[in-house]
A and B are shown apart, each in its own frame.
Chain A
Amino acid sequence: MTSSPAPVLEPAETVSDLSDRRGHSPANRLQHLLHRRPALSPLFVLIIAVVIFSLVNARFYSAVNLSLVAQQTAVIGALAVGQTLIILTAGIDLSVGAIMVLASFIAANLIYTDNTSVPVALLVAVLVSVVAQAINGLLVTRIKLPPFIVTLGTFNAFTAITLIYAKGQTITLNPGSGLLWTGESFLIGNFRVTYGVVLMAVLYLVVAYALRCTAWGRHLYATGDDAEAARLAGINTKRVLLSAYLVAGLAIAVSAWILAGRVDGADPNSGLNANLESITAVVIGGTSLFGGRGSLIGSLLGALIVQVFDNGLALAGVDANYQVLAVGILVIAAVSVDQWIRKVKA
């Protein structure tokens, strides 16, 4: 699943094993297991959460509700794909949500005011997302600005552009418009699956495959793990870095489409917290903020966990404030686990 070669026993550890026997303790073995499979801890948290919430309120486990949780996760889930790619390069992107809202608004507005055909509008959305991410990527790779600062700047810029363009209006498209296709659904048993959820799943499959089985994916991990070593190994790290932003742009375009399906058009105020929520999903999903380690599926689990907590606590009738509290604690816990796992190599 992850790129980093499974470190079985390194010399340093063997020495420390000799001095004390921690190397064989269950904690140590768990540490190694999580290092190899970073998605295991979020999977564990998700299962526990689902079991507990099902016990608290049986409705949680109903097909109708679980379908809703999947639908609610789709936007942030798709966005987290792009965020994962960038965090894997030891970067961070504060602007993904802002770009998503801009792209979705432009697409919806083209259809609403100019009667643009849906494929063209979608193409424009892709173009907007990719160009926006190219700006981020070029500033990071060419001008060598820290990703945090670059995307903080572009986050503000893209938010402002959306507001200027939208003039504060929301757009409601006529039902049946192709842009809202992601909100339409079909039934699998009692599960109502929207095409947006399907689209998100396909996005995960494609990008996960690329990360795992293509040279590009391996190069991305290598660059994120140690850019200097990757460069010396002959990888064009600048190009790999830029490609991460461009592919993230594609993922953002997909999430923009899913968002349109959820809000029946476009709302400049939607996705207000999406930037941070996507980072939250990736971090809870076990991807290291230090780059080079993590799995895409973890980010999906992370996005699901956040939504399951929101939904589960709501069904349990818990005050909405505790939903925010719970997510905060989860983030700290996830980062702590990551720090602990990192010590395998230290």
Chain B
Amino acid sequence: MKFHQAPRTLLALTAVSAVAFGATACGSAAGSSSSSGGTVGVTLILKTLSNPYFVTMENDAKAEAAKDGVSLTVAAGTSDGDTQTQITAIDDAISRGDKGILITTNGNAVNAALNQAKQAGLYVIALDTAPTPANVADITYATDNTAAGKLDGQAAAATLGGKKAVIAMLDLYNNQVVSVDIDRDHGFLQGMGIDPGSTTQNGQEAKSGTYTGGTGGSYQIACQQPTQGAIDGGRTAMEDCLSANPNINVVYAINEPAAEGAYAALQAAGKTSSVKIYAIDGSCQGVGYVSSGEFAADAVQYPGKMASLGVDSIAKLAKGGSKPSTSSGLDFYDTGTALVTASPVSGVTTETVAQGKAACWGSSS
């Protein structure tokens, strides 16, 4: 009896899973709107909608689309690294006849689909991070993640004032390579005056030596741990780092949630006063943590600006305008970055908390 049932169960399972997967794929295109009748169709494809950074992009893109009379379709991966949903959304954009795609890619797997989109005549703008290779997109509107990391690194070196730096590097992933992870990490090291030792990989810097930023001094990399960019990951990573080396005095965190988690670990260990956390993102919540002293500094970025500029460019292009061009000296259009600190740091250009709050994104909860 079992033998008769097994194939049937398998069949049912296959059928149901086909439906389930099919539904997932179609679900990502939900909310699509047709672009018939001469309106310009634009698809915005985000990494996820679980991060206020991308939610801000969505909101600002929608506002800009309403202003420009653009029909905007928004899609997003289910998690960081989910390229399949993004590819489906790109295919959908092509078949819908959209004029352009704005995308924060989840990885190189979307490259082939983006190339198809370009061949089909869509204008592809990468937001936030450039794809690899960068020419997969027609142009990238991004914050210079390396520059953001650098500002943090420079502030860290200057604040140390020649003291020995014992550094915890709290990165994003250990199961995939994402450019933002590399750029911010390497930027921070370069800002401190430490050679990252590689252009493509994290954790290749010499584990000890001298940093040249600020007044210079010796350094030691105490640990390099993944955080998944989340609070629990940041906390676990920081706990492991402190166990490995209780003398850590500088923490680099890939983003604000990771930094929050690190702070929780430091608080539990009673070490908040002796350790400085350097974060990147620039949400209102994060800028708040700078003013309350949890973060020593927060390199702020402007996700909403990237998205609204992107929508605007495609709208202009579709109406016969000229193509946007990159910032001089960079292979992308830089939407800017700044460092928010509670008090000025000598030798580094900083913004005050008030300035940061004026331009921050997300709600300030």
Contact = CB atoms under 8 A, between A and B. Distances in A.
A269 B244 contact: no
Contacts of B232: 75, 259, 262-263, 267, 270-271
Nearest to A68: B239
B186 interface: no
B244 A170 contact: no
A114 B188 CA distance: 40
Given A169-B362, A170-B231, A263-B235, A314 B285 contact: no
Contacts of B356: none
B200 interface: no
Interface in A247-299: 259, 262-264, 267-273
A323 B223 CA distance: 14
A167 B55 contact: yes
B13 interface: yes
Interface stretch (B123-131, B260-268, B334-342): B260-268
Contact of A314 (B9, B229, B240): B240
Interface string B191-205: 000000000000100
Contacts of A169: 52, 285, 362-363, 365
Nearest to B223: A314
Contact of B243 (A64, A146, A259): A64
A271 B50 CA distance: 13
Nearest to A259: B232
A19 interface: no
Contacts of A174: none
Contacts of A149: 13, 16-17, 20
Given A168-B51, A314-B240, A320 B16 contact: no
A307 B225 CA distance: 14
Most chain B beta-carbon contacts within 10 A, residue among A72, A153, A310, A320: A320
Interface string B232-258: 110110011101100000000000010
Contact of A272 (B174, B228, B239, B268): B228
Contacts of A156: 24, 78
A311 to B, nearest CB: 5
Given A72-B236, A317-B244, A320-B226, A262 B50 contact: no
Contacts of A89: none
Interface in B16-73: 16-17, 20, 24, 48-55
Contacts of B243: 59-60, 62, 64-65, 68, 311, 314-315
Contacts of A172: 260, 285, 365
A148 B49 contact: no
A324 interface: yes
The size bracket of the interface on B is: 35 or more
B241 A314 contact: yes
A243 interface: no
A332 B107 CA distance: 28
B230 A267 contact: yes
A163 B50 contact: yes
B79 interface: yes
B224 interface: yes
B328 interface: no
Contacts of B240: 68, 310-311, 314-315
B95 interface: no
Contacts of B260: 170, 172, 263-264, 267
A71 interface: yes
Given A75-B232, A152-B20, A269 B257 contact: yes
Contact of A168 (B54, B224, B231, B264): B54
A170 B257 contact: yes
Nearest to B222: A317
A16 interface: no
Contacts of B365: 112, 169, 171-172
B274 interface: no
B175 interface: yes
A270 B228 CA distance: 8
A46 interface: no
A268 B268 CA distance: 22
Interface string A165-182: 011111110000000000
A324 B175 contact: yes
Contacts of A183: 264, 268
Interface string B334-365: 00000000000000000000000000001101
Interface in A59-77: 59-60, 62, 64-65, 68, 71-72, 75
A253 to B, nearest CB: 17
A71 B231 CA distance: 15
Interface in A199-254: none
Contacts of B236: 72, 310
Interface of A: 57, 59-60, 62, 64-65, 68, 71-72, 75, 112, 145-146, 148-149, 152-153, 156, 159-160, 162-163, 166-172, 183, 185, 192, 259, 262-264, 267-273, 310-311, 314-315, 317, 319-321, 323-324
Top 3 A-B residue pairs of the complex, sorted by shortest distance between their CB atoms: A320-B174, A269-B230, A314-B240
Given A170-B285, A262-B235, A270-B233, 19 more contacts: A68-B243, A112-B365, A146-B12, A148-B13, A149-B17, A168-B49, A168-B50, A168-B53, A168-B55, A169-B362, A170-B231, A259-B232, A267-B230, A269-B228, A269-B230, A269-B231, A271-B232, A314-B240, A317-B244
14 contacts: A57-B244, A59-B243, A72-B236, A149-B13, A152-B17, A163-B48, A167-B55, A170-B231, A172-B260, A270-B233, A271-B232, A272-B228, A320-B203, A323-B174
